[in-house]
């Protein structure tokens, strides 16, 4: 079951929000830029299987960001 | 140009300088130490020295942390699960490194960094084949650890040819071919130069070495993960890789040692025979996991990183060149890695400029030699005039550099070069049309 548009958008928002919390200027700007670019680049992906994989990957990355912003 | 850009750039500077303080709201400092670190960070200079080292990518650190705490087993322990899980992680990392350079995982040996990898390659090859072959070829612009390894070999009775380079920093393949002798065992040429960023014709060198049955080692510390490299395509027999130049941890690196046809190396270190006996000593699981993660990320980000770094470096060079005259870019303008820019500001002393640019972390050359005031041997090797060699600055751009940082650096740089030139009698003389080369400085 492919993720819905709403799910993807909320993931996008969650990643941007989490990235905002990087205390370091360089990590923060990189994370925000990267999240934006990655979602824009894959905007036109239609294949449900690919979307599913991308969403999984994004969830992993969201977890990484959430863990890392709290470290320092 | 300057006036138009000034208000925006000034506000950028403010943003950069208080970047820590605006962002700490989301973070709760847990103890006195933590808040102290944050405060200290408030006025740190911005970082433009990515050739010296790079900050770790948060994704790398995230991959490493479990192996620093929970999974602490010795990867060489074969009798329990702690060892197995660490070994599995190490082998996964080996695969990630190999994947980045197109090698077989069994050809990757973990070391403590590119210096050790270079030592193992150069001394190891020369010593292993010393009964028949006593000659090594390298270049004058290599990293210190390669040159010093070669000096050590010379002391042991080997002969070393140090190839000169052209004015653009590249070696002449014709000169290389002429340097071969029947007893040449090894050619060592770095892929990307750490000071001037030029990219040597590694593929051609690889093919020449292959046709002559001489081993080819390349120090790719500055190149791996930044430009596409394939050891089979480039006919490389040994390759040095560093962790901390590719957003990985410091204290770890790797050396690629070809298995087919087999390249044999005499190990430098005696011990438990880890890493195929080439590098004894317990493999540091967490660091190696970090190196593996850094390689995987580098592969995945190579294209977007490269595009962005190229854009930023063009922005920097173009802005500086358009605002101040008499700036020379060292090294070939085409055959280069764009993240390493070495500029000479004529009539300005490099060290004074570095001191003036307090809020930007820059360097005049490699970090190893940054304590000395001598002009860089790399710049002397490319035939830069003494005065230009003294006035060079290396700008390193990397994955985490922003447009604002580049603009701020340019602004500060332009401002201080102008100020220093105004104080310089040489600059005054040049403005009056006196040719500095015609002046006899000494009285006798």
* Interface predicted TM-score (ipTM) of this complex, two decimals: 0.94
Query: What pLDDT was estimated at residue B5?
Result: 39
Residues in chain A closer than 8 A to B69 (CB atoms) = none
Q: Percent of chain B having pLDDT more than 90?
A: 78
Q: What is the mean pLDDT of residues B280-292?
A: 97
Sheet order of strands, B108-111 included: B108-111, B253-257, B238-242, B215-219, B184-188, B135-139, B159-163
What are the residues facing B239 on neighbouring strands? B218, B256
Contact B402, B364 (CB under 8 A): no
What is the span of the domain harbouring residue A18? 5-71
CA distance between the termini of chain A: 38
Q: Please report which confidence band the pLDDT of residue B389 belongs to, taking 50, 70 and 90 as the band edges.
A: confident
Interface of A with B in 19-38 (CB under 8 A): 20-31, 37
Q: Is B55 on the interface with A (CB under 8 A)?
A: yes
Q: Is B315 in contact with B403 (CB distance < 8 Å)?
A: yes
Residue B277 DSSP label = G
Which of B14, B26, B308 should one mutate to test binding to chain A, selecting the residue with the greatest count of A CBs within 10 A? B26
Query: What's the mean pLDDT in B366-392?
Result: 82
- The span from the CA of B398 to the CA of A49, in Å, is 34
Which residues, 6+ apart, have CB-to-CB distance to B141 below 8 Å?
B165, B169, B190, B193, B195, B196, B377, B378, B381, B382
Task: Check whether B162 has a pLDDT greater than 90.
Answer: yes
At A60, give phi and psi (nearest 5°). Answer: -60, -45
Query: Model confidence over B339-364: pLDDT tens digits?
Result: 999 999 999 988 889 999 999 999 88
- The per-residue pLDDT of chain A, averaged, comes to 93
CB distance B420 to B348 below 8 Å: yes
Quick one: average pLDDT of B8-23?
Answer: 42
Give A34→chain B minimum CA distance, Å: 10
Total structural domains in chain A? 1
Pairs across A and B, CB distance < 8 A: 50
Mean pLDDT of chain B: 89
What does the pLDDT read at residue B30? 45
Interface test with A, best of B23, B42, B312, B407 (most A CBs within 10 A): B23
Contact A69/B61, CB-based, under 8 Å?
Answer: no
Measure the CA–CA gap between A72 and A69, rounded to whole angstroms.
7
The verdict on a CB contact (< 8 Å) between A23 and B61 is no
Active site residue B368: yes
For B30, nearest residue in chain A (alpha carbons):
A72
In this predicted model, which residue has the larger pLDDT, B14 or B81? B81
Between residues B3 and B422, which one has the greater pLDDT? B422
Tally Cβ neighbours within 10 Å of residue A24: 20
Q: Which residue in B26, B59, B401 is closest to A64 by CB distance?
A: B59
Residue B32 has pLDDT above 60, yes or no: no
């Amino acid at each position: 079951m492919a993720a819905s548009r709403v799910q993807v958008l909320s993931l996008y928002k969650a990643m941007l929000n989490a990235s905002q919390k990087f205390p370091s200027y360089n990590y923060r700007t990189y994370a925000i830029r990267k999240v934006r670019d990655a979602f824009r680049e894959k905007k036109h992906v239609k294949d449900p299987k690919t979307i599913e994989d991308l969403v999984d990957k994004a969830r992993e990355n969201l977890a990484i960001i959430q863990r890392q912003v709290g470290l320092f | 140009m300057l006036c138009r850009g000034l208000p925006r750039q000034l506000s950028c500077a403010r943003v950069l300088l208080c970047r820590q303080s605006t962002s700490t709201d989301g973070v709760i400092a847990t103890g006195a130490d933590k808040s102290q670190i944050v405060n200290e960070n408030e006025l740190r200079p911005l970082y433009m020295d990515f050739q010296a080292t790079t900050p770790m990518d948060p994704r790398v650190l995230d991959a490493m942390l479990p192996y620093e705490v929970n999974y602490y087993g010795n990867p060489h322990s074969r009798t329990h699960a702690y060892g197995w899980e660490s070994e599995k992680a190490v082998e996964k990392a080996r695969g990630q490194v190999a994947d980045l350079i197109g090698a077989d995982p069994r050809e990757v040996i973990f070391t403590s960094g590119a210096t050790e990898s270079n030592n193992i390659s150069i001394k190891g090859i020369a010593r292993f084949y010393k009964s028949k072959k006593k000659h090594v070829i390298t270049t004058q612009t290599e990293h210190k650890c390669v040159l010093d390894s070669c000096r050590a070999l010379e002391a042991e009775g080997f002969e070393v040819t140090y190839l000169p380079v052209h004015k653009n920093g590249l070696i002449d393949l014709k000169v290389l071919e002429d340097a071969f002798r029947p007893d040449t065992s090894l050619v060592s040429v770095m892929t990307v130069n750490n000071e001037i960023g030029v990219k040597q014709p590694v593929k051609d060198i690889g093919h020449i070495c292959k046709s002559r049955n001489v081993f080819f080692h390349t120090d790719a510390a500055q190149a791996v993960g930044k430009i596409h490299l394939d050891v089979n395509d480039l006919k490389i027999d040994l390759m040095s890789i560093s962790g901390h130049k590719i957003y990985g941890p410091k204290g770890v690196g790797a050396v690629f040692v070809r298995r087919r046809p087999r390249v044999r190396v005499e190990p430098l270190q005696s011990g438990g025979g880890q890493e195929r006996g080439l590098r004894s000593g317990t493999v540091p699981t967490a660091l190696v996991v970090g190196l593996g993660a850094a390689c995987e990320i580098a592969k995945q980000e190579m294209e977007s990183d490269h595009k962005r770094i190229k854009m930023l470096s063009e922005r920097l060079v173009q802005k500086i060149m358009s605002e101040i005259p008499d700036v020379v870019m060292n090294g070939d303008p085409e055959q280069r890695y764009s993240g390493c820019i070495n500029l000479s500001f004529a009539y300005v002393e490099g060290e004074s400029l570095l001191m003036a640019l307090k809020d930007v972390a820059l360097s005049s050359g490699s970090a190893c030699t940054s304590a000395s005031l001598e002009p860089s041997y790399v710049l002397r090797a490319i035939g830069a005039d003494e005065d230009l060699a003294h006035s060079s600055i290396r700008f390193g751009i990397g994955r985490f550099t922003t447009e604002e940082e580049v603009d701020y650096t340019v602004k500060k740089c332009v401002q201080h070069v102008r100020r220093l030139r105004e104080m310089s009698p040489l600059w005054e003389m040049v403005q009056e049309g006196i040719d500095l080369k015609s002046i006899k400085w000494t009285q006798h």
